[in-house]
Amino acid sequence: MAIIMTEDQRTMVELAKQFAEKEIAPYSQEMDETGVMRHEIVEKMAELGFMGINIPEEYGGAGLDEITKVLVIEEIAKVDASVAELLSVHTLVNDIFLKQANEEQKKKYLAMASEGKIGAFALTEPGAGSDAAAAKTKAIVDGDDYVIDGTKCFISNMGPNEGDYVVVIALTEPEKKTKGMSAIIVDRGTPGFSVGKTENKMGLRAAPVSELIFENCRVPRSNLIGQEGRGFMIAMAALDGGRIGMGAQAVGIAEGAIEAAVKYSHERIQFGKPINANQGIQWYLADMATTTEAAKLLVWNAANLRQNGININKEAAMAKYYASENAVAVCHKALQIHGGYGYMKDYAIERMYRDARIVPLYEGTSEVQKMVISRAVIK
């Protein structure tokens, strides 16, 4: 499918492009080296409407569609995947509130999200990665409260200073396993909730990822999203949307790598001519452009189907699987085109190469995506 952008979509994409080039790119190397996201970047994303891009206007958001969200994430990821990661996870959390929360929760948290407060989603645990059903964090009823105990790990959008609220998937009825899981909102600063180790990552270094610790953490039962026992279903539905966001991020990384490779191939002269005069380089670029276009169409298709209320379990998995593996392959070829210079931190492709490698791992590994796809095909 091809996307013919509306006027609103063109406006947001152009805003994202200018924002990425002028207000992210000058700081990307610094943020990668320090592992710290500049707070003013998040503030500017809120000002431009990106933090509330998928939130209806009645709750303070931009009220735009799934395709527009994908286009904006792609554009930002071309320049800096860490910023795109923060935005993608944040919009996933927005979606949980939109589809599952009650009106009071929507009014509070969607307004906060649009204003630039950062949302996080906590499912993964040290012993429960791909096997999310093995989670052990508990939220036991005590009067009008839940008392939460447990540890979550590899949680995006939570760092020493980042992250304002998190949707935690916890066992309210442990004996029922996945049918006893519930989704509960925990605000930063709640007694008993702390951010533990912040991960020192290979890539996406400016995107905060941390361990969350809950020790006798008491939150009101009104913080429950939806009904008790529906937490696993809420998480799986959220991951479908999240995988579209990760696919968009992967497409953006690949597009950024292609742009960098093309630019370098014009500038690098060997044997008296630009290296892109050589058929080997031309064929590399042809392969990179073709597979990235295919990845983009898979992501757009899943986004379009989701926008129209169609179940996209298979399509989201296909988009995320293909786009993420493609990003790694394209960055590999782009670095090869750069030769030895591509291995040096003077060139952005070195960071892109590291950033790309996480995408086949999070929001469900490529192997998990193939499980999802094969089940749908066999059925």
Which residues belong to the active site?
363
Select from 82, 93, 153, 83 the least CA-distant residue to 120. 93
- Give the CA angle between residues 154, 155, 161 to the nearest 5°: 115
Burial class (CB in 10 A: 0-12, 13-18, 19+), 306: buried
Tokens of 166: 């998190």
| CA separation for the pair 338, 27 (Å, rounded) | 22
Identify the H or E element spanning 217: strand 209-220
Task: For 232, list phi and psi in degrees, rounded to 5.
Answer: -65, -40
Instruction: Output the DSSP codes for 171-221.
Output: ESSGGGGGGGEEEEEEETT-TTEEEEEEP--SS-TTS-EEEEEEEEEEEEG
Task: For 144, list phi and psi in degrees, rounded to 5.
Answer: -95, 10
Select from 333, 319, 329, 334 the least CA-distant residue to 369. 319
